[in-house]
C-alpha cells in the first residue's frame, strides 16, 4: 500500500535569511544543507549535523508568520550539558532543564521568538 514515509522538511518563518543562517549555524551548530537562489526566492535549509534527512527551511516569504511557529522538539543525549553549551553561545532559554514524563526538557527561543523544546528522551532522575 502506498503511503507517507516520513517528514522531509519543516518551515521556520524568518525576517532575514542571512541573519537566521548565522543564528542556526553558530548558536545551534546546525549545518547549511541547501542554498539555491533564483530571481524570486532563495531556498535555504539547515539541519542538525547528525540529521541531514530532515531539513529546516529558513523562509523569508511568510512575513506574517515570523515568531509564530509551533514549538519544535529537538532531541539530545544530554539535556543539561547541551543547555549549558547553548547558554554559553548566547541562546535564550525560557525554561531550564526539568523532568517531564517523557524525559528531561529545557525550552529556548530562536532569534525571532519561536520556541524549541530540547528533550533528553528516557531521562530518569
Task: Tell me if 28 sits within 8 A of 54, measured CB to CB.
Answer: no
In the chain, what are the domain boundaries? 1-65, 70-125
Look at residues 69, 21, 62 and name the one whose alpha carbon lies nearest to residue 41: 62
For the chain, the C-alpha Rg in angstroms (whole number) is 15
Each residue of 61-92: pLDDT tens digit?
Answer: 999 999 999 999 999 999 999 999 999 999 99
Same fold, 1-65 and 70-125: yes
The CA-based diameter of the chain, rounded to the nearest angstrom, is 53
Distance of CA 109 to the CA centre of its chain: 9
1-65 maps to which CATH number?
A: 3.10.180.10
Class of domain 70-125: alpha beta
User: pTM to 2 decimals?
Assistant: 0.92
Length of the chain: 125
Amino acid at each position: 500500500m502506498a503511503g507517507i514515509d516520513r517528514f522531509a522538511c519543516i518551515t521556520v518563518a524568518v525576517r532575514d535569511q542571512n541573519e537566521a543562517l548565522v543564528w542556526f549555524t553558530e548558536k545551534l551548530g546546525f549545518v547549511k544543507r541547501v542554498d539555491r537562489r533564483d530571481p524570486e526566492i532563495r531556498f535555504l535549509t539547515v539541519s542538525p549535523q547528525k540529521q541531514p534527512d530532515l531539513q529546516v527551511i529558513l523562509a523569508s516569504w511568510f512575513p506574517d508568520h515570523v515568531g509564530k511557529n509551533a514549538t519544535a522538539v529537538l532531541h539530545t543525549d544530554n539535556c543539561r550539558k547541551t543547555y549549558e553549551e547553548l547558554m554559553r553561545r548566547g541562546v535564550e532559554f525560557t525554561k531550564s532543564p526539568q523532568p517531564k514524563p517523557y524525559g528531561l526538557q529545557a525550552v529556548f527561543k530562536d532569534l525571532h521568538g519561536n520556541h524549541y523544546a530540547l528533550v533528553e528522551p528516557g531521562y530518569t532522575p
